[in-house]
Structure 1
Amino acid sequence: MNIIKTAIPGVLIIEPKVFGDERGFFLESWSAKTFRDAGLDLAFVQDNHSRSSRGVLRGMHYQRPNPQGKLVRVTAGAVYDVAVDMRASSPTFGKWVGVELSAANKRMLWVPEGMAHGFLCLEDGTDFLYKCTSPYDPANEHSLLWSDPEVGIEWPLGDIMPQLSAKDVAGKPLKEAVTFP
């Protein structure tokens, strides 16, 4: 696999080896040994799968305490996936990185603990899968405001009017958000 570093240390784009022929393709989306050999010694406790329509924006979510690391990918459709550094002591605190993940490009994104995470669905019928290092803990979930001008995420909205949950509409701007040390 090919691992691409991003502007936020620890957030990684992962391109798996894809073997294809006229019948289709095969890829290994997770192997503890392969990831460990690449320096990512991860233990996952939960898998999640969501399906969304074009224009659905989910995020920017994180848990504190009980933070989750997430290995995310798309198996149908496409998203613009974003991670924001919520670690107050980090030199990249409040900075964001975004990448398109799609069924076509087969890329994955590793979002380590201490990040807010979210995505904008770019196509109808998008299936988004993620492996998590900690269980979902709704009592300790927080939402960073997806449109906070201080963070300045450049969502590729084009003609899309984002569809948001009530929780995401009520997200906190960075200056009011719960952060990590």
Structure 2
Amino acid sequence: MHAEKTALPEVLILEPRVFGDARGFFMESFNQRAFEEATGCKREFVQDNHSRSRQGVLRGIHYQLEQPQGKLVRVTHGVVWDVAVDLRRSSRRFGQWVGVELSAENNRQLWVPEGFGHGFVVLSETADFLYKTTDYYHPESERSIRFDDPDLSIAWPDAGVELALSDKDLAGGTLADAEMFD
């Protein structure tokens, strides 16, 4: 597994080794030892999630104040543009974001550590999005920041259709008003 730093050094793009031939391919999508060696992070993953979304669905920017989740995310079908936002007030990169295209074709994964918000938009007709988390879902402490918050100024790509957001995401707060990590 190869790890590539992003503009937010704690957020890493991971590229597993893929072995392919005329029959198809094989890859180890997760290996604890390889993850720790590539990232320098020791984390225990406790939950796997799988979502399927249609083109134009935008999910996020989500985070949990209590039981913060580190997320290892990937796409097994389709294409998404994935975003991580530094939400640690004590960080010199507070409010900065990175965006990475994840697809079934490029097999890239994104490591989004605790203390960061996360969201994505589906660019293909549909996409299957899988993520491992370092803590359990805790709905009482889940928060959402608006995807179009002017203080973040995230440059979301054109999804080719009208965006579709949940009521929860439409009601998300702004970075200026949101509860954050220290």
Q: Report the TM-score, using the length of structure 1 for normalisation.
A: 0.98
Q: Which residue number in structure 1 is paired with residue 91 of structure 2?
A: 90
The range that moved more, 151-160 or 108-117, is 151-160
SS at match of 1:37: helix
Q: Which residue number in structure 1 is paired with residue 27 of structure 2?
A: 27
Post-superposition shift, 1:98? 0.2
Post-superposition shift, 1:157? 1.8
Partners in 2 of 1:96 and 1:119 — Cα distance? Answer: 12
* AA matched with 1:126: A
* AA matched with 1:99: V
Q: Which residue number in structure 1 is paired with residue 43 of structure 2?
A: 42
Partners in 2 of 1:37 and 1:180 — Cα distance? Answer: 27
Which consecutive aligned stretches of 4+ in structure 1 deviate over 4 angstroms post-superposition? none
The range that moved more, 2-11 or 151-160, is 151-160
Post-superposition Cα deviations, 1:48-102, rounded to whole Å, max 9, x if no partner, equal 0000000000000000011000000000001000000000010110000000000
Q: Which residue number in structure 2 is paired with residue 2 of structure 1?
A: 2
Q: Aligned residues: percent identity? A: 58
SS at match of 2:147: coil
Pairwise mapping of residues 31-70 of structure 1 onto structure 2 (< 5 A)? 31-38=31-38, 39-70=40-71
Partners in 2 of 1:37 and 1:109 — Cα distance? Answer: 15
Post-superposition shift, 1:161? 1.5
Partners in 1 of 2:64 and 2:162 — Cα distance? Answer: 27
Q: Which residue number in structure 2 is paired with residue 167 of structure 1?
A: 168
Q: Which runs of 5+ in 1 are unaligned?
A: none
Q: Which residue number in structure 1 is paired with residue 100 of structure 2?
A: 99
Q: Which residue number in structure 2 is paired with residue 18 of structure 1?
A: 18
* AA matched with 2:24: G
Partners in 1 of 2:121 and 2:154 — Cα distance? Answer: 11
Distance 1:94 1:13, change over 3 A: same
Q: What RMSD in Å do the two structures reach over aligned CA positions? A: 0.9
Post-superposition shift, 1:158? 5.3
Post-superposition Cα deviations, 1:109-143, rounded to whole Å, max 9, x if no partner, equal 00000011000001122000000000000000000
SS at match of 2:176: helix
SS at match of 2:132: strand
Q: Which residue number in structure 1 is paired with residue 129 of structure 2?
A: 128
SS at match of 2:128: strand
Task: Kindly indicate whether the alpha-carbon contact (under 8 Å) linking 2:15 and 2:109 is maintained by their aligned counterparts in 1.
Answer: yes
The range that moved more, 131-140 or 35-44, is 35-44
Q: Report the TM-score, using the length of structure 2 for normalisation.
A: 0.97
Partners in 1 of 2:159 and 2:11 — Cα distance? Answer: 26
Q: Which residue number in structure 1 is paired with residue 142 of structure 2?
A: 141
* Residues paired across the two proteins, number: 181
Pairwise mapping of residues 102-113 of structure 1 onto structure 2 (< 5 A)? 102-113=103-114
